[in-house]
Amino acid sequence: MNKVFLIGNLTRDPELTTTNSGVSVCRFSIAVTRRFSNAEGERETDFFNITAWRGSAENCAKFLKKGSKVAVSGSIQMRNFERQDGTRGLSVDITADDVEFLSSRNDSNSEGSTNVPNAPVSELQPVSDDDLPF
């Protein structure tokens, strides 16, 4: 069985394209921090290329951006390639079966965000039970 579960943050904005037959494809990469520290006491990070298809691809392109936290379940695909200098390389790609959005839209103060700054404590007014809607 080829199944992988990853939780990480997008390292770049997702890129949405379509195939010649009109199928949506979204590609993005995530950074996943390892659970354990290395010999120097540092936690290492791995980077994975993710490919989502069809409706999932469209949702990823619409709602995700660089820094978004996601949980991805899917399958691993290994791909051999040749670099421009002639050396061979190996790429590990993930084909997503499911992408769960773990960040809310308002987690960052980007353009279009509707976050309202918190009032200082000194400006807060007490609320009586009669003012509560429930």
Distance between CA 52 and CA 26 in Å, rounded?
Answer: 5
CA distance 42 to 49: 23
**By residue range, what is the domain housing residue 89?**
4-35+44-105
- Is 14 contained in some domain? yes
DSSP assignment of the chain equals ---EEEEEEESS--EEEE-TT--EEEEEEEEEEEEEE-TTSPEEEEEEEEEEEHHHHHHHHHH--TT-EEEEEEEEEEEEEE-TTS-EEEEEEEEEEEEEE-S-TTSS--TT----PPPPGGG-----GGG---
In a domain, 119, yes or no: no
Residue 82 within any structural domain of the chain:
yes
Domain assignment present for residue 17? The answer is yes
Indicate the pTM of the whole model: 0.73
Is the residue at 110 inside a domain? no
Indicate whether 101 belongs to any domain: yes
Task: Please give the span between the terminal C-alpha atoms of the chain, in angstroms, as a whole number.
Answer: 51
pLDDT winner (highest mean) among 33-37, 73-77, 130-134: 73-77
Residues in contact with 64: Cβ distance below 8 Å, sequence separation at least 6, in sequence order: 10, 13, 14, 28, 70, 101
CATH of the domain at 27: 2.40.50.140
pLDDT band, very low/low/confident/very high, at 104 (cuts 50, 70, 90): confident
Number of domains in the chain: 1
Please check whether residue 132 lies inside any domain of the structure: no
Q: Is residue 65 part of a domain?
A: yes
Radius of gyration of the chain (CA): 21
pLDDT band at 105 (very low <50, low <70, confident <90, very high): low
